[in-house]
């Protein structure tokens, strides 16, 4: 047993750790300005249709009702079919 049961290596009373930034964090990053304004969420759906994106935003609004008053912009672009395999080239 440890000399003092309240002061154990496995259960320290105080642990001084710097949790703000880690060695893997990039201190220098670029912020791209977008015409829509601040982006609070980003979704990349495999089936980028209105139904899928509507379900996604509805799920977010269940936990965050304020999103019902937040402007939402969906950018639907045609892409390749993900089930078609890797792109040729």
Q: Is residue 70 part of a domain?
A: yes
Higher pLDDT, 74 or 6: 74
Contacts of 61 (CB under 8 A, 6+ apart): 67, 68
Q: How many domains does the chain have?
A: 1
Token look-up 């040729």 returns 88
54 lies in which domain range? 50-78
Query: Mean pLDDT over residues 60-77, rounded?
Result: 79
In the chain, how long is the greatest CA-to-CA distance? 67
Q: Is residue 43 part of a domain?
A: no
pLDDT at 62: 87
Q: Is residue 68 part of a domain?
A: yes
Q: Is residue 72 part of a domain?
A: yes
pLDDT at 69: 82
Q: Is residue 20 part of a domain?
A: no
Q: Is residue 67 part of a domain?
A: yes
Per-residue b/e over 38-51, b at no fewer than 16 CB within 10 Å? eeeeeeeeeeeeee
Q: Is residue 56 part of a domain?
A: yes
Angle among Cα 30, 34, 38 to the nearest 5 degrees reads: 85
Residue-wise pLDDT for 36-53, tens only, equals 777 777 777 766 677 888
Q: Is residue 66 part of a domain?
A: yes
């Amino acid at each position: 047993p440890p000399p003092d049961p309240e002061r154990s290596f496995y259960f320290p009373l105080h642990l001084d750790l710097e949790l703000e930034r880690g060695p893997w964090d990039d201190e220098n990053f670029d912020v791209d300005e977008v015409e829509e304004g601040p982006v609070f969420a980003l979704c990349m759906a495999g089936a980028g249709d209105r139904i899928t994106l509507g379900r996604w935003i509805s799920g977010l609004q269940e936990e965050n009702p304020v999103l019902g008053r937040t402007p939402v912009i969906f950018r639907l672009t045609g892409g390749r079919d993900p089930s078609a395999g890797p792109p040729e080239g």
